[in-house]
Amino acid sequence: MIDQRTALTDVATFITTSVGRPVGVVDMPEGATVPYAVVYPIDDVFSGPPLWDPFADVEFTFQVTSVGERWDQARWMADHVRRALLDRVNGGFIGNPGPVSGAVVANRDFVDAGGIIEGDSVVSIPERFLFHLTPS
């Protein structure tokens, strides 16, 4: 069984390791300086067969919001997040075997970019991803 909390935490850890910048789960990483990212579940979208089925494949939709004080910092982080999650090296993830422990990512998609959001001294770029996971 693959649970959403574990998947979110694993994705945040994977991005942190791949990019070398802090990533939080649903909140700003503690003590973080820009640029950083935050991983969010999307409307609790975690669909598939019953989760009690130990061999159930699931679809896991999540958002990664890249944050900086300036546009170039947020864009740098967003580019590196996308590269970590979507690039292929020898047919797999950059940080093989992949971002979710106990699961194999059968397919991954870039779903949506929310555009650049500018606020008081903060620029953020939200981007959504969809992973099709199967227990390993």
Q: What is the pTM of this model?
A: 0.87
Domain map (residue ranges) of the chain: 4-25+33-135
Give residue-wise pLDDT tens across range 87-122.
Answer: 877 556 655 557 888 888 888 889 888 888 888 889
Protein fold of 4-25+33-135: STM4215-like (3.30.2000)
The partner residues of 108 in beta bridges, in order of sequence, read 131
**Radius of gyration of the chain measured on its C-alpha atoms:** 15
Give residue-wise pLDDT tens across range 18-62.
Answer: 999 999 999 999 999 999 999 999 865 556 666 566 667 778 889
For tokens 């650049």, what's the residue? 116
